[in-house]
Structure 1
Amino acid sequence: MDGMAALFEPHAVIDSGGGQLTFGREAIRTMFAEVTATGRKFQSGDQRPAVINGDLALTSTRLPDGTITTEVARRQNDGTWLWVIDRFSVA
């Protein structure tokens, strides 16, 4: 799951619900590895247009079960975007 973790800034945070926060790219890498080891599949959904203000962007996806993911990305010096905050599906 190195590919997934590479989408996050080094000090990013993921809120996966239930008060569970994962801090930092290494912990995020471990979390994704543990989730996929259980056989859980990540759903694809309807990605909504990003809302951009300067070097910040709010992204979200509506999943088939109706839940919504939300993320905050920051533009990097090289022009690419990395997530700094990720909230897994919320109702």
Structure 2
Amino acid sequence: MTEDKYAKYAKAERPEDLTRLFVERSNAGDADGVAALYAEDAVLAYPPGAQTVGREAIRALWAKVLENRPRFTPEAPLPTLVSGDLALTSTPPSDGSGARAQVARRQPDGSWLRVLDQPEFQRPTS
């Protein structure tokens, strides 16, 4: 897999675009398109209790997940926190189960890529 294959995808112009593009590409079954949203050195906290490190490993993981054709629904983002070339984005899952959070990094061309992705935070049970 070459980096050129990711160049064809629309880039996130704002950190908030990453979630929308993720939903669109996942629902289309496009693992390459999902991987294009991540930096080469990105870390994804998935599957639960594990980490997937690097764009190609993330692509392979999503290819496997998307074989089952899951459907994702857009979730309203919480306000984005930006400091220089880093941004923290988050969404509360529509099922109220916890939270999702991502750290994105601005690229030299001004676009944004995910570098850390925590798709599920569970509320502690008492």
Asked if TM exceeds 0.5, the reply is: yes
- One of 83, 91, 109 as aligned partner of 1:61: 91
SS in 2 for 1:47: coil
Moved more, 42-51 or 56-65: 42-51
Residue in 1 that maps onto 2:120: 89
Kindly report which structure 2 residues correspond to 1:36-75, keeping only aligned pairs within 5 A, or say none: 36-66=66-96, 67-75=98-106
User: Secondary structure of 1:71's partner?
Assistant: strand
Provide the aligned C-alpha RMSD in A: 1.3
SS in 2 for 1:45: coil
Instruction: Supply the distance in 2 between the matched residues of 1:19 and 1:52 (Cα, whole angstroms).
Output: 28
Q: Kindly indicate whether the alpha-carbon contact (under 8 Å) linking 1:43 and 1:63 is maintained by their aligned counterparts in 2.
A: no
TM score, norm. by length of structure 2:
0.67
Q: Gaps (5+ residues) in structure 2?
A: 1-30
Give the aligned residue type for 1:20: A
Give distance in 1, aligned partners of 2:121 and 2:74. 15
User: SS of the counterpart of 1:72?
Assistant: strand
Identity of aligned residues (%): 44
Q: Which has the higher strand share?
A: 1
Counterpart of 1:6? 36
Larger Rg: 2
TM-score by length of 1: 0.91
Moved runs in structure 1, 4+ residues, more than 3 A? none
Normalized per residue, which structure has more helix? Answer: 2
Distance in 1 between the 2:120 and 2:84 partners? 26
How many residues were matched structurally? 91
